[in-house]
Amino acid sequence: MLKRCWTDEQKNAILAKNGAVLVSAAAGSGKTAVLVERVIRILTDKNTPCDVDKLLVVTFTKAAAAEMKERINARISEMLISEPENKNLQRQQLMLPSAHISTIHSFCNELIRENFYKLNMSPEFRIADENEMLILKNEVIQAVLEEKYKESSRKFLNLVEAFSSSRDDQKLISTVLTLYDFIRSHPFPQKWLDDKLKFYDDKQNLNENIFAQVLFDYARMAVTHCLQLTENSVKMIQEIERIKLAYEETLLYDKELLNELKSTLENKNWNEISRALKIIKFVALKRLVGYSDDPVKLKVIQNRKDVKEIIKNLTRLFFQSEEQCFEDLKTLRPIISELFELVKDFEERLDLAKNEKNVVDFGDLEHLTLKLLVCKTENGFEKTEIARSLSQQFEFVMVDEYQDTNEAQYILSKMISAKYKNITVVGDADQAIFTWRGANYKNILNFEKDYKDAKVVLLEENYRSTKTILNAANNVIKNNKVRKEKNLWTQNEEGSKITYYKAFDEKDESNYVVNEIKKLIEKGVNPKDICVLYRANAQSRTVEEAFLTSNISYNIVGSYAFYNRKEIKDLIAYLK
């Protein structure tokens, strides 16, 4: 079976015995091939083979699910060439098209359609698209607010005063919709709201309050960043003697102040931190003549300006005393309570509106499935008969990209694997990029706590990148405070050095990128083999302008070209 030259780590993942298995797979480590081979091993185990319809394999995308089925089918076909009479392989291949290898939403959709009557739903429901849901949400929130204004309770009016401007309720509407979308990633949204409201009842030591803890962590990271900026400035001036003589003493004093502040923050005492921030004073830099346009001088001044602004903002955050903070919590509690009630009203009204239109969204698929699997009793939440049946049906559960699962998906996978506890999860906390969508990377970090006897396999060898790229990636990701330690490596070549260009502004950055692309094209590189990555779509404008000015054709992937966006075309047409 293991004819391919698998590494020892890959073999460990493939041949791991029954039970809980965590495959912590770095980027480019061949995790898909390993997962496919593990499925094949389970299907063809000589002692206890398992039929493919008793496996639940959850992937992140439909494309990944389709690829998984194709690869499994290809492996079975390959094995049948050498064992054409193998009845087990023939049966697995016949059942493969209907195997439960899909996204979590596809699985939930199928389960809901099989049990629609238990949810008082029509079997003809459809999944609404994003624009349809946007319109429906807006209609519902407007209707809910209209009713609230008719009632005009003091609690609601206080909420409006806290969140809305004199012109409209857009800020309040945005808050309700954002909060609604966020709590949908949790298995029991209304319980989540009730639990979070209790934070405002905390009358104990402020230093142990959840809000203070968040601010302590934020302040520590902010001061650490200030120290890095200051240390960078000190390094930059070493090569220019006159700038060094003028600035070094002041910058080293800044560094001393920041280190003292960092030590105070480590104690996590609100009043001490408040006092330390109020008394911190930065002295002025010495006057330096003749270097008005020097890039080092300008960068040092900008770094120091950023540091002072960060400290100024921290001073505002910690300006009040503990007693004043508790008074604020007392004032905020009824406002937050009313906000949460508004979100609950909106959720209930939106559910009614969706039922009338016979539609659901992707979040509904998870929550409706949870309703099928869990029922509320006097003793809390208990499994339903459907949950026990599914747990009996699926002997093995496998979840890919586990770091991108949310709380609801986490509970679903745990419940379905409850009977046999044969659960394999594959992922990498270092690649978690969907926290903004409700994903919880701690699901993968806590796997060993959930399953005490879990087997852990690290796939650290990368087959895709050069040594240079991996060394850079390792040095960046090691700064993550909460992660499972691993070190990417490869047998590939060293590769070209990474070029780091520190641009003065976005235009300078874009011009540099375009000039480098020109050089590559002149060397014979195909333009189709060149890509430009940016952090946010809004950053594309200056890059596009540089391409247009240089007469270089380009294609925007995953978004619209800036000048092709409807609102921009309308504005240009109006100006013409």
Q: What is the pLDDT of residues 16-42, one digit of tens each?
A: 989 999 999 998 999 999 999 999 999
Give the tens place of pLDDT for each residue, 514-547: 999 999 999 999 999 999 998 888 788 899 999 9
Strand, helix or coil at 80? Answer: helix
Other Cβ atoms closer than 10 A to 232: 12
Residue 52 is predicted with a pLDDT of 96
Task: Kindly report the average pLDDT of the chain as a whole number.
Answer: 92
Spatial CA neighbour of 208 closest among 292, 270, 130, 279: 270
Give the tens place of pLDDT for each residue, 450-499: 999 999 999 999 999 999 999 999 999 988 878 888 889 999 999 999 99
Amino acid in the structure at residue 570 = D
Complete DSSP assignment for 180-215: HHHHTTSSSHHHHHHHHHGGGG--S-GGGSHHHHHH
Place of tokens 């309308």: 570
CA–CA distance, 157 with 164 (Å, rounded to integer): 10
pLDDT at 387 over 90: yes
pLDDT at 181 over 60: yes
Cβ pair 398, 55 in contact under 8 A = yes
Residue 336 is predicted with a pLDDT of 96
Which residue spans within 1-64 are E strands per DSSP? 21-25, 55-59
CA–CA distance, 70 with 67 (Å, rounded to integer): 5
| Model confidence band, residue 563 (pLDDT cutoffs 50, 70, 90) | low
Q: Residues in the chain, how many?
A: 576
Share of the chain above pLDDT 70, in %: 97
| Model confidence band, residue 157 (pLDDT cutoffs 50, 70, 90) | very high
CA–CA distance, 430 with 444 (Å, rounded to integer): 10
Share of the chain above pLDDT 90, in %: 78
Cβ pair 140, 128 in contact under 8 A = no
Residue 187 in tokens? 């298995």
| Angle ∠(261,264,266) on CA atoms, nearest 5 | 115
> Which residues face 59 on adjacent strands?
103
Give the tens place of pLDDT for each residue, 415-458: 999 999 999 999 999 999 888 888 999 999 999 999 999 999 99
User: Quick one: CA torsion of 81, 86, 88, 93, rounded to 10 degrees?
Assistant: 30
Tell me if the pTM is above 0.85.
Answer: no
Residue 1 is predicted with a pLDDT of 47
pLDDT at 2 over 70: no
Residue 34 in tokens? 């390993």
Across 99-122, average pLDDT? 95
CA–CA distance, 548 with 554 (Å, rounded to integer): 9
CA–CA distance, 280 with 271 (Å, rounded to integer): 15
Residue 202 is predicted with a pLDDT of 66
Across 563-570, average pLDDT? 65
pLDDT at 3 over 70: no
Give the tens place of pLDDT for each residue, 215-254: 999 999 999 999 999 999 999 999 899 999 999 999 999 9
Cβ pair 39, 81 in contact under 8 A = no
CA–CA distance, 31 with 23 (Å, rounded to integer): 8
| Model confidence band, residue 77 (pLDDT cutoffs 50, 70, 90) | very high
Residue 167 is predicted with a pLDDT of 78
Beta strands 380-383 and 374-377: pairing type? antiparallel
Higher pLDDT pick, 201 / 69: 69
For the chain, how long is the longest CA-to-CA vector? 89
Which residue spans within 334-438 are E strands per DSSP? 359-360, 374-377, 380-383, 396-399, 423-427
Give the tens place of pLDDT for each residue, 299-357: 999 999 999 999 999 999 999 998 899 889 999 999 999 999 999 999 999 999 999 99
